[in-house]
């Protein structure tokens, strides 16, 4: 059974930083691209970033490009999202999502329970 | 690619058929997925490749379309089907989602 467990969310001031982590189990981590998808309170889904299984290729939405950095440690089965220069509009639940593909993100087979990030202005 | 879902809210009764629409701002061929999100839960993959059901998804759920116009059809609605549904395209980066259709009890 695939399990994805996010951590690292919390309350941070505008301009601050946070680092999210997602520990994966139940599948061969290095053979799956991985993603971060967020959902602002009461709003829809927004894809944030993706990374290939090897970690060599990364993808970002325009809204976070230059501020967020996605990475992974395949030896630890862990996905990360370093979030810098945070803004109030980054407030959301951040989900870790397993991709069907190995390199370029496509669709999301499994999702974690999410971690809440709140940015105060 | 901008995805526009309609209607915003759909009010139906158990046993009825639901038809949800997703329109893309340009062709995405069949690079489209659908997700279901019930209140307080994480999204669940229903459909990928516009018409292929994900593992464990009952055949009451079917997807169709290609290019710019897609539909998700849910036959014989059950209580657990009342949720928010999102379409998502992976035709090009960045990946985008539609704004969602809420399926509610009539």
pLDDT digit string (tens) for A64-101?
999 999 999 999 999 999 999 999 999 999 999 999 99
Chain A residue with the nearest C-alpha to that of B88: A107
A57, pLDDT greater than 90: yes
Q: What mean pLDDT do residues A26-34 have? A: 97
Q: Are B83 and B39 in contact (CB under 8 A)?
A: yes
The whole-angstrom distance between A104's CA and the closest CA on chain B is 9
Chain A residues with CB-CB distance to B31 below 8 A: 106
**Partner-chain contact B48 A105, CB within 8 Å:** no
Instruction: Locate B38 and state its tokens.
Output: 């019930």
Chain A residues with CB-CB distance to B42 below 8 A: 95, 111-114
A11, pLDDT greater than 90: yes
Query: What share of chain A in percent tops pLDDT 70?
Result: 100
Q: What mean pLDDT do residues A10-39 have? A: 98
Q: Are A31 and A102 in contact (CB under 8 A)?
A: yes
**pLDDT at B39 (0 to 100):** 92
Distance between CA atoms of residues A105 and A57, nearest Å: 10
Q: Are A85 and A70 in contact (CB under 8 A)?
A: no
**Partner-chain contact A107 B93, CB within 8 Å:** no
Residue A43 half-sphere exposure, CB side, CA atoms within 13 Å? Answer: 15
**pLDDT at B93 (0 to 100):** 87
Of A44, A106, A114, the CB nearest to B99: A44
Distance between CA atoms of residues A5 and A88, nearest Å: 24
| Regions in chain B scoring below 70 on pLDDT | none
């Amino acid at each position: 059974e695939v399990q994805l467990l996010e951590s690292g969310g919390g309350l941070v001031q505008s301009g601050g930083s946070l680092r999210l982590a997602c520990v994966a189990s139940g599948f061969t981590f290095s053979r799956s691209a991985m993603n971060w998808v967020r959902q602002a309170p009461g709003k829809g889904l927004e894809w944030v970033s993706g990374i290939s299984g090897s970690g060599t290729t990364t993808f970002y939405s325009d809204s976070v490009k230059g501020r967020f950095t996605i990475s992974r440690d395949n030896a630890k089965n862990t996905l990360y999202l370093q979030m810098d220069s945070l803004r109030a509009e980054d407030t959301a639940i951040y989900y870790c999502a397993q991709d069907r593909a190995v390199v370029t993100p496509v669709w999301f087979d499994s999702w974690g329970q999410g971690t809440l990030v709140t940015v105060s202005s | 690619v901008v995805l526009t879902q309609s209607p915003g809210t759909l009010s139906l009764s158990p046993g009825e058929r639901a038809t949800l629409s997703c329109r893309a701002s340009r062709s995405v061929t069949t690079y489209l997925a659908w997700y279901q999100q019930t209140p307080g839960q994480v999204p669940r993959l229903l459909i990928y490749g516009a018409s292929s059901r994900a593992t464990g998804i009952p055949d009451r759920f079917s997807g169709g379309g290609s290019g710019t116009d897609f539909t998700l059809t849910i036959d014989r609605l059950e209580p657990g089907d009342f949720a928010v549904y999102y379409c998502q395209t992976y035709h090009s980066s960045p990946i985008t989602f539609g704004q969602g259709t809420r399926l509610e009890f009539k």
